[in-house]
């Protein structure tokens, strides 16, 4: 959703959750293949983009309450956008963070995708999807999913494979009710993949739904879900707070519980809005970062 005011653009960047996430052994190029269903959820970062009129090719990011590294997903997206389009004007980006970082919710990747769309709008560059995907691939694997979202306020789901570049949209379920807990644990993606490699090597045996069956399983009643996240077992062993979050969700009647992405956020899916609201009221007394929302 874009609001144009003179040279300013304001955009929303949605979070995502992973409903199942199978990590495959490392490939020759160093990437791991994945098989997962990604689904956006109504938890948003906000970005405001402003042109500066100065042609020195800089992206200046301001984020109150959070120190970002000098090179981040926003500066990387801007750099590749300039490479593709020939734009050299500096921009200012104000980032209002709501999506917890280091939680497996795709905040940084979503921010990058929303900035790509904002830059495209303000500079009227008419990027093709192929160009957006090129930029996404230079920034991060999860960015591929987010650039496919045409309207970030509308639920979007996809079967995601490869290193993240194979995005096959599916009809999102609108009948899911979530409670999300973000334990006070920061799990870096690099650390998580290292733990997965140590946990599953050398045999890499799996007890999970094959990719071709993911969409069918996703459409089935939630209480039948057998989705597994390959990151959960090694991360739970390293960080007991993640285990506690999963146990607390289960204790409040969630039909399905799992960790999202490479952690550390965990979520429960409930049979009704009333059940989710009731669980949320109990869990927020213990967990300072606790959210509830519906998939619709």
Q: Which residues contact 92 (CB under 8 A, 6 or more apart)?
A: 49, 50, 52, 60, 61, 62
- Among 8, 16, 64, 273, which one carries the catalytic annotation? 16
Helix (H) or strand (E) holding 161: strand 157-161
Give the C-alpha distances (Å, rounded to integers) separating 257 from 69, 108, 247.
Answer: 33, 24, 9
Length of the chain equals 296
Neighbours of 166 (CB within 10 A): 15
Question: Are the beta carbons of 5 and 13 closer than 8 angstroms?
Answer: no
**SS3 state at 117:** helix
- Rounded Cα gap, residues 137 and 118, in angstroms: 18
Which has the closest alpha carbon to 284: 260, 262, 252, 261?
Answer: 252
Positive or negative: CA dihedral 14, 17, 19, 25:
positive
- Rounded Cα gap, residues 194 and 217, in angstroms: 29
- Among 45, 111, 142, 248, which one carries the catalytic annotation? 142
Omega before residue 123 within 30° of 0, cis: no
Using alpha carbons only, what angle is made at residue 265 by residues 261 and 266, rounded to the nearest 5 degrees? 95
Neighbours of 150 (CB within 10 A): 9
Place of tokens 């979530």: 178
**55 tagged catalytic:** no
C-alpha 198: how far from its chain's center? 24
Place of tokens 């960047």: 13
**142 tagged catalytic:** yes
Catalytic annotation, residues: 16, 142
């Amino acid at each position: 959703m874009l609001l144009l005011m003179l040279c300013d653009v304001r955009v929303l960047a949605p979070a995502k959750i992973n409903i199942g996430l199978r990590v495959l052994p490392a490939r020759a190029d160093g990437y791991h293949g994945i098989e997962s269903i990604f689904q956006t959820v109504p938890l948003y970062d906000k970005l405001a983009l402003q042109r500066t009129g100065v042609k020195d090719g800089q992206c200046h990011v301001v984020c109150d309450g959070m120190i970002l590294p000098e090179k981040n997903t926003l500066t990387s997206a801007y750099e590749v956008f300039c490479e593709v389009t020939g734009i050299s004007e500096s921009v200012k980006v104000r980032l209002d963070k709501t999506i917890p970082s280091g939680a497996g919710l795709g905040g940084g990747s979503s921010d990058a995708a929303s900035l790509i769309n904002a830059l495209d709008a303000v500079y009227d560059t008419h990027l093709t999807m192929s160009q957006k995907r090129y930029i996404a691939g230079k920034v991060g694997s999860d960015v591929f999913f987010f650039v496919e979202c045409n309207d970030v306020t509308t639920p979007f789901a996809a079967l995601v494979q490869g290193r993240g570049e194979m995005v096959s949209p599916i009809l999102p379920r609108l009948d899911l009710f979530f409670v999300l807990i973000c334990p006070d644990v920061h799990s870096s993606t690099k650390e998580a993949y290292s733990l997965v490699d140590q946990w599953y090597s050398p045999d890499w045996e799996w007890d999970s739904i094959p990719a071709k069956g993911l969409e069918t399983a996703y459409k089935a009643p939630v209480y039948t879900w057998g989705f597994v996240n390959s990151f959960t077992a090694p991360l739970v062993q390293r960080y007991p707070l993640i285990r506690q979050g999963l146990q607390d969700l289960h204790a409040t009647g969630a039909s399905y519980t799992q960790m999202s992405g490479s952690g550390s956020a965990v979520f429960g899916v409930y049979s009704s809005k009333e059940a989710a609201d009731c669980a949320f009221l109990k869990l927020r007394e213990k967990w300072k970062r606790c959210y509830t929302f519906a998939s619709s």
